[in-house]
Amino acid sequence: MGLTIRDVAKAAGVSTATVSNVLNKTGKVGRRTHLLVLSTVKRLGYFPNVHARHLASRDSRTLGIIVSDIENPFFPEVIKSFEVRARQLGYDAILSDTNYDPRRTREAAERMMEHNVRGVAVMTSEISLKLIHELARRRIAVTFLDLAPVRGYMSNLRIDYFSGVQQIVNYLYKNGHRRIAFIAGRPRLKSNNVRLEAYEKCMRNLGLEPGPILRGDLRFEGGLAAGLAIAKLSPRPTAVVAVNDLTAVGVIKGLLKAGFRVPQDISVTGFDNTRLAEYSNPSITTVDVHRDMLGKMAADALHELSCSADPHGREYQIPAELILGDSSGPAPAE
Amino acid sequence: MGLTIRDVAKAAGVSTATVSNVLNKTGKVGRRTHLLVLSTVKRLGYFPNVHARHLASRDSRTLGIIVSDIENPFFPEVIKSFEVRARQLGYDAILSDTNYDPRRTREAAERMMEHNVRGVAVMTSEISLKLIHELARRRIAVTFLDLAPVRGYMSNLRIDYFSGVQQIVNYLYKNGHRRIAFIAGRPRLKSNNVRLEAYEKCMRNLGLEPGPILRGDLRFEGGLAAGLAIAKLSPRPTAVVAVNDLTAVGVIKGLLKAGFRVPQDISVTGFDNTRLAEYSNPSITTVDVHRDMLGKMAADALHELSCSADPHGREYQIPAELILGDSSGPAPAE
DNA sequence: CCAAACGAATTAAACGCTTAACCTAGTGGG
DNA sequence: CCCACTAGGTTAAGCGTTTAATTCGTTTGG
C-alpha cells in the first residue's frame, strides 16, 4: 500500500541499504548521496514502517507505561512527562489504562510483551507477582511506584510520603491545631497506608494522640461522607488531613453542607497538588509530589536499566513539598 | 531474544502455519491440534510479536488518537472510551499528545503514519491542511472534531454546541436573568466561536442585547481575570455564561474575591461537564457533551471508514445536555 | 610503486509472522 | 468402485526493514 524503502532507493538510484543508513544516521554514507537521499525521501513523502524497522533491528525502542486510571488527575501529567522524556531518549511510548481492573492489568502487561517494549513503568498496584515474574523472565525493565523491593531489572520510584505528611502535620501543629483527624484511602493500597502510618507517627512525635481516623475511598464521594461524619463528632477536630486532594474537596463540601466554614472553623488539607487543589474554593493546602519529575525519572530509570548489560535496580526518591492554600489556617479559639 | 512461533511449533510438533492459524482463529485447525497448540502456548508463555504480525499481514489493526492536551480534563474520558471501543473492535490504540504545539502535531501525525494506522481521530485544531492531505493520500481514515467538511476517508464528529448554549441561555432567561455576560475562549478556536455565536443568536432570539463579552483563555487564569472584571461592571450582569468549566471556576473565584456571592448575587455557568463542575464549590451548572460517546463514536467511525472499499465520510451529531448545579439560581431582585 | 588501509556503496541474509498454494487421507454420492 | 470433496495439515514465499559481509575504487605510508 504505502511507499517502501525500495521505492526511495529506486528513485534516488541507490541501494536500500544506503537509504537505511542515511535514515539511521550511521555516518557510512557520503555527503552527496546523503543529501540526495534525504531530498528524495522528502519529495516522495516517505515514512519508514515502524513494524519492519523494529523487526529487523530486533529492538522496539519502545517504552510502555501502565496507569490505573487516566481520569485520575494524578496521572495525566505523569504520562505527559514520561512521553516527552521517552521521546527525547529516542523511544516510542505506549500507554495502557487498567481502570483498576486486575484483568485489564494483565491485558496491559501482555500488550507490552507483544510490543516487545524495552521497559515498562508500572503505575498501578493491581499487578500480580506472576506477571512481574513474566516480565522479568523476558528481561523487560520495570519501574514500580512505591511498591516493590528493587532487584535486577526492576527499579522503584519512591515518593517521600512521610516527609509530605510530616510537613502537613507540623504545619498544623504550629498553627495551634491539636485535634487532627485523618481521612484514609483504600486499605489495601500501600501508598495510602504509608501516609496513614506517617500521620500516626508524626502525631505521636508531637505528643498527640492520633485520630479520629475515617475511611474514605480516594474519591469525592468518600470525602463527602467523611466530611459529614466529621461535622457530627464531639469533640470536633479542628483540622482534617485527607489522603488526597479529591478526598479533601469532598470533605470541604461535606463540612460546608453541615454549616461549617473552612478554614475559619476547620482546616482541611489534601495531598498530591492536583489542579483541583488550585481550582477548588477555597484552594487547598496540599503536598506537591512533583508528578512531572516522576514521569521523567521513570523514563530515565527504564532507559538506564535496559541499556546496561548487568542492570542493577535502584531506588529513586521523589521529594514532597508543602503547598499552602486557603483551606487551612490557625485553629479556632476554644 | 524472546520466544518465537517456531519454538511453539517445535514444542507442539506442528508447523508454524498451524500455530498461526490457531492463534488467529481461522478455523482451519482440528480440535485436537487446536487444544494442543493452545496449551503449548500457555505452557511456554508465548506472546506473538506485534511487529512481525503487522508486517506479515500488511495490516496494523491499529487506530490512533491525537489530542491537544491530556491534562485538559475534557480528554481523558474521551481517550478512555476510544481505547475501550477500539479494543472491542480488535484494534490496538495509540495516543499522541500535541500540547497545542503545531510542530508536535506534525510529529504526532508522522508517528501515526510510521505506525501504519488504519485510522486516526484528530481531536486538536492545530493540524495543517498539508498534513490532512498527506493522511488522505495514504488512505488513512480520519475523524475530526467540529472541524472539517466530510469527504472520502474523513468523517466529522459534531458536538451540538448550539443546543447546549441554547439550553443554558433559555434556562437563565426563565430564571429571570436579563443581563447575561459571556466569557469567550481563544478567538481562533472554531468550537469556541460556535459557542459565542450561539450565545449571541440565542440572546437575540429572546429579544436581549448580547454582551458584555469578555475574552478568557480557556484556562483558570483567564476566568479569574474575567470574574474580577465582571465585578467592576455597571450595570452588573446577573449571570455569566463561561465557555467551559475551567473558566467558570475562575470566574466564580474572581467574583468571590470581589465580595459577591454565587449564585445569590450572580449566577455562573460552565460548559463540558468535567469532574471539576461537580467538585467545585459551589458545583457548576454546565452542559454535558457526552465525552464517552465521543470517543466511542470516533472509534466506530474510523472502523467503518477503514473497512469500506469506497468510504463515504459522514457527519455524526453528539447531543448536549444541561446539567444543573449550585452555581446558578434565580436573578436577584433589582 | 606496491601493499595496506580506507571510504562509500552494494548484496543478501535475517527478523517473526501470515497466507496462498499445495499435499494427503478419509468421506460420501452416483 | 471411482471421483470429487473436504478436513486438516505443511511448505515456502513474502512483508519492509537492518546490518554483517562484501566489493570496488582511491589514498597513503614506506
Cα–Cα nearest to A216, from A273, A271, A276, A285: A271
Residues of A in contact with B138 (CB under 8 A): 1-2
Rounded (5°) CA angle B161-B226-B291:
30
The spacing between the Cα labelled CA in A21 and the C1' in D21, in angstroms, equals 16
Distance from CA of B253 to the nearest CA of A (A): 7
Alpha-carbon distance of A168 to A231, in angstroms, equals 21
Residues of A in contact with B114 (CB under 8 A): 47-50
DSSP codes of every residue in B8-42: HHHHHTS-HHHHHHHHTT-S-S-HHHHHHHHHHHH
Q: Nearest CA to the C1' of C10 belongs to which residue?
A: A15
DSSP codes of every residue in B272-294: B--HHHHHSSSPPBEEE--HHHH
How do beta strands B141-145 and B315-318 pair? unpaired
Nearest CA in chain B to A47: B114
Distance from CA of B93 to the nearest CA of A (A): 9
Nucleotide at minimal C1' distance from the B37 CA: D9
Chain A interface, best mutation among B51, B69, B97, by max A CB count within 10 A: B51
A236-251: average pLDDT: 94
- % of chain A beyond a pLDDT of 70: 100
For the stretch A74-126, pLDDT in tens is: 999 999 999 999 999 999 999 999 998 999 999 999 999 999 999 999 999 88
Residues of A in contact with B79 (CB under 8 A): 70, 97
A97 with B83: Cβ contact below 8 A: yes
DSSP codes of every residue in B217-242: -SSHHHHHHHHHHHHH-SSPPSEEEE
Alpha-carbon distance of A239 to B286, in angstroms, equals 32
- Residues with pLDDT less than 70, chain B: 1
Name the most confidently modeled range: A21-35, A148-162, B286-300. B286-300
Whether B156 CB is under 7 Å from strand C? no
Distance from CA of B77 to the nearest CA of A (A): 6
How do beta strands B286-288 and B321-323 pair? antiparallel
B213 phi and psi, to 5 degrees? -115, 120
**Residue from the list A76, A253, A256 with its beta carbon closest to the beta carbon of B76:** A76
Whether A15 CB is under 7 Å from strand C? yes
For the stretch A264-276, pLDDT in tens is: 999 999 999 988 8
B55 with A49: Cβ contact below 8 A: yes
A281 with B281: Cβ contact below 8 A: yes
Q: What are the start-end ranges of the E strands in chain B?
A: 62-67, 92-97, 119-123, 141-145, 154-159, 180-184, 213-215, 239-242, 267-269, 286-288, 315-318, 321-323
What mean pLDDT is reported for chain B? 93
A2 with B278: Cβ contact below 8 A: no
**Residue from the list B71, B116, B281 with its beta carbon closest to the beta carbon of A280:** B281
Nearest CA in chain A to B47: A114
Alpha-carbon distance of A303 to A155, in angstroms, equals 11
Protein residues with Cβ atoms closer than 7 angstroms to any atom of nucleic acid strand D:
A 1-6, 16-17, 19-21, 23-24, 26, 46, 48-49, 52-53, 55-57, 59; B 14-18, 21, 28-34, 52, 55-56, 58
Rounded (5°) CA angle B46-B48-B49:
125
Q: Is A243 helix (H, G, I), strand (E, B) or coil?
A: coil
A71 with B139: Cβ contact below 8 A: no
Beta-bridge partners for B21: none
Nearest CA in chain B to A70: B76
A73 with B73: Cβ contact below 8 A: yes
The spacing between the Cα labelled CA in B14 and the C1' in C28, in angstroms, equals 29
The spacing between the Cα labelled CA in A24 and the C1' in D18, in angstroms, equals 10
Alpha-carbon distance of B103 to B126, in angstroms, equals 9
For the stretch A186-201, pLDDT in tens is: 877 777 788 999 999 9
Q: Which residue has the cell 490557625?
A: A330
Cα–Cα nearest to B316, from B159, B132, B188, B90: B159
Cα–Cα nearest to A195, from A170, A160, A171, A223: A160
pTM: 0.91
A114-141: average pLDDT: 92
The spacing between the Cα labelled CA in A328 and the C1' in D6, in angstroms, equals 79
pLDDT for position A194: 85
Residues of B in contact with A94 (CB under 8 A): 94
Which nucleotides on chain C have any atom < 7 A from a protein Cβ? 7-12, 14-21
Distance from CA of B201 to the nearest CA of A (A): 31
Whether A50 CB is under 7 Å from strand C? no
pLDDT for position A275: 85
User: Exposed (0-12), middle (13-18) or buried (19+): which is A316, by Cβ within 10 Å?
Assistant: middle
pLDDT for position A62: 97
pLDDT for position B1: 61
